[in-house]
C-alpha cells in the first residue's frame, strides 16, 4: 500500500500568548518540512477558540517562507465567506510564493453559527460554495472571466495572476459521506475524513469503486485520508497524561459554539473522555511501538492512503509536540511503511 503522511491543524487556542503560539507552530512546521511530511493542512474557523488562524492565507504566507519542500494549504477555505475573485488572487500569490507547493481545499463551512456571524444564511452556503468554486477554478485558468450566477455576476474581468501549478493546485475536500465520492473521482479531488475506521472504509471503498468505473489507473488514485490526534512519548502513561489535559481543552474549543446554541456538529460524535477517544481509534497515543501497531491496524481497517497527524492541539506544550514529532518521524513512519502490504 502506498501511504503518505500529512499534518492537520485547527490552530485552536493554546495556553500561551497567541504570538508565541504562532511562532511555536512555525517551528513545528519547519520540523515537518525536514522530516518529509507531504503537506500541512490548516482549518478555517471564525469567532471560536477552535480557530486562531481565521485567515489561513495570512498564516500560510509565513509557512511558504519557512519551508522548502512541504506542501501546504487550507482544509478548507470556507468559500461562502469569500468573494471568489479575491480568494483566487490569494491562491495565486501563495502558489507563486512557494514555488508551486499549494494544496487547494474548498468547502462550504461546517458551522452555521460561524457563517451567521458574517451575515451568511446557512441555507445559502451550499449554493455559494458551488458558485464560488466554479468562479475560482475559472479564474485560475487566466484570460478574462465572465460569470452570471445567483450570487456573483461580472463580465470580462481581466485575470492578471496565475498559479504555478496548472490548471490549478491539487483540490481537497472534507467528507463524511461515501455518496460524494463520485464527484471527487470525476474531478480528481483528494478527500479527508475524521470518521471512525469503519465509516472511513465505506468512503475509501466507494472512492476506489468510482475511480475504477471511470477507467483511471489505481496508481493515480488521489489521496483518501483520515485525521487523527497523535502523541508519541517514552511511555504510555506519559503520553496519556499529556493527552488528557490537551484533549479536554481542544474538545471545549471544538464544542463551544455548538453548546452555546444547543446544537450538534453534523456527522460528528466525539467522546468527552480522552481514554474513550483513544479506544475509539480517534487518536494514537503511547510509545513508538504502541503507536505504530495501533496505527497499522487502523490504516488497514480504513483503507486510506493518507494519514493526517494532529500533533499540536489544546494546551499541549510545544516541547511535547516537538518530541512527539521527532519520535514519530524517526521511530514510527519508516518502520510502519515496511509492515504495510504492497
Domain of residue 11, CATH code: 3.20.20.30
pLDDT at residue 342 in the model: 64
Is 227 among the domain residues? yes
pLDDT tens string 44-96: 999 999 999 999 999 999 999 999 999 999 999 999 999 999 999 999 999 99
Banded pLDDT at 105 (limits 50, 70, 90): very high
Whole-prediction pTM = 0.97
Residue 60, domain member (yes or no): yes
* Assigned domain for 323 exists: yes
pLDDT beyond 90 at 2: no
In sequence order, what are the beta bridge partners of 41? 8, 73
The number of distinct structural domains making up the chain is 1
* Res 39 pLDDT > 90: yes
Residue 70 falls inside a structural domain: yes
- Average pLDDT on 321-340 reads 93
Range of the domain at 267: 4-75+175-339
Q: What is the mean pLDDT of the chain?
A: 96
Residue 214 within any structural domain of the chain: yes
Structure confidence at residue 341 (pLDDT)? 75
Residue 17's pLDDT band (boundaries 50, 70, 90)? Answer: very high
For residue range 208-221, list pLDDT tens digits in order: 999 999 999 999 99
Distance of CA 224 to the CA centre of its chain: 12
Does residue 330 carry a pLDDT above 90?
yes
pLDDT category of residue 1 using cuts at 50, 70 and 90:
low
**Cα–Cα distance list, 211 to 172, 185, 220, 223, 301 (Å):** 16, 5, 9, 12, 20
Cα–Cα distance for residue pair 8/112, rounded to 1 Å: 22
Kindly give, in sequence order, each residue whose CB lies less than 8 Å from that of residue 59, ignoring residues fewer than 6 positions away: 11, 22, 42, 53
Percent of the chain exceeding pLDDT 90 equals 94
pLDDT at position 128 is 95
Identify whether 191 is part of a domain: yes
Task: Supply the pLDDT for residue 269.
Answer: 85
- Does residue 35 belong to any structural domain of this protein? yes
Whether residue 94 lies inside any domain: the answer is: no
The b-or-e profile of 280-290 (16+ CB within 10 A means b, else e) is ebbbbbbbbeb
Question: What element of type H or E holds 293?
Answer: helix 288-302
Give the model confidence (pLDDT) of 126-179 as tens digits: 999 999 999 999 999 999 999 999 999 999 999 999 999 999 999 999 999 898
For the segment 233-246, the average pLDDT, to the nearest whole number, is 96
Say whether 280 sits in a helix, a strand or coil: coil
Amino acid at each position: 500500500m502506498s501511504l503518505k503522511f500529512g499534518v492537520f491543524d485547527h490552530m485552536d487556542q493554546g495556553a500561551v500568548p497567541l504570538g508565541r503560539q504562532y511562532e511555536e507552530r512555525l517551528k513545528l512546521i519547519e520540523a515537518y518540512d525536514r522530516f518529509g511530511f507531504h503537506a500541512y493542512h490548516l482549518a478555517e474557523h471564525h469567532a471560536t477558540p477552535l480557530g486562531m488562524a481565521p485567515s489561513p492565507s495570512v498564516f500560510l504566507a509565513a509557512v511558504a517562507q519557512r519551508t522548502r519542500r512541504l506542501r501546504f494549504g487550507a482544509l478548507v477555505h470556507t468559500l461562502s465567506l469569500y468573494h471568489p475573485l479575491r480568494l483566487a488572487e490569494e491562491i495565486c500569490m501563495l502558489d507563486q510564493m512557494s514555488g508551486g507547493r499549494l494544496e487547494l481545499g474548498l468547502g462550504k463551512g461546517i458551522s452555521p453559527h460561524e457563517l451567521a456571524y458574517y451575515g451568511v444564511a446557512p441555507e445559502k452556503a451550499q449554493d455559494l460554495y458551488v458558485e464560488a468554486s466554479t468562479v475560482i477554478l475559472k479564474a485560475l485558468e487566466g484570460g478574462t472571466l465572465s460569470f452570471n450566477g445567483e450570487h456573483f455576476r461580472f463580465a470580462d474581468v481581466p485575470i492578471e495572476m496565475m498559479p504555478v501549478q496548472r490548471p490549478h493546485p491539487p483540490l481537497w475536500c472534507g467528507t463524511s459521506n461515501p455518496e460524494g465520492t463520485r464527484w471527487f473521482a470525476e474531478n480528481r479531488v483528494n478527500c479527508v475524513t475524521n470518521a471512525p475506521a469503519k465509516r472511513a472504509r465505506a468512503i475509501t471503498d466507494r472512492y476506489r469503486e468510482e475511480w475504477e468505473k471511470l477507467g483511471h489507473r489505481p496508481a493515480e488514485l488521489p489521496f483518501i485520508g483520515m485525521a487523527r490526534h497523535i502523541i508519541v512519548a517514552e511511555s504510555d502513561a506519559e503520553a496519556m497524561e499529556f493527552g488528557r489535559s490537551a484533549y479536554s481543552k481542544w474538545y471545549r474549543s471544538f464544542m463551544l459554539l455548538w453548546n452555546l446554541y444547543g446544537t450538534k456538529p453534523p456527522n460528528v460524535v466525539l467522546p468527552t473522555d480522552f481514554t474513550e477517544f483513544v479506544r475509539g481509534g480517534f487518536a494514537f497515543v503511547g510509545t513508538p511501538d504502541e503507536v505504530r501497531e495501533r496505527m497499522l491496524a487502523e490504516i488497514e481497517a480504513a483503507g486510506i492512503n493518507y494519514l493526517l497527524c494532529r500533533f499540536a492541539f489544546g494546551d499541549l506544550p510545544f516541547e511535547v509536540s516537538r518530541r512527539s514529532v521527532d519520535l514519530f518521524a524517526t521511530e514510527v513512519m519508516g518502520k510502519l511503511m515496511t509492515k504495510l502490504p504492497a
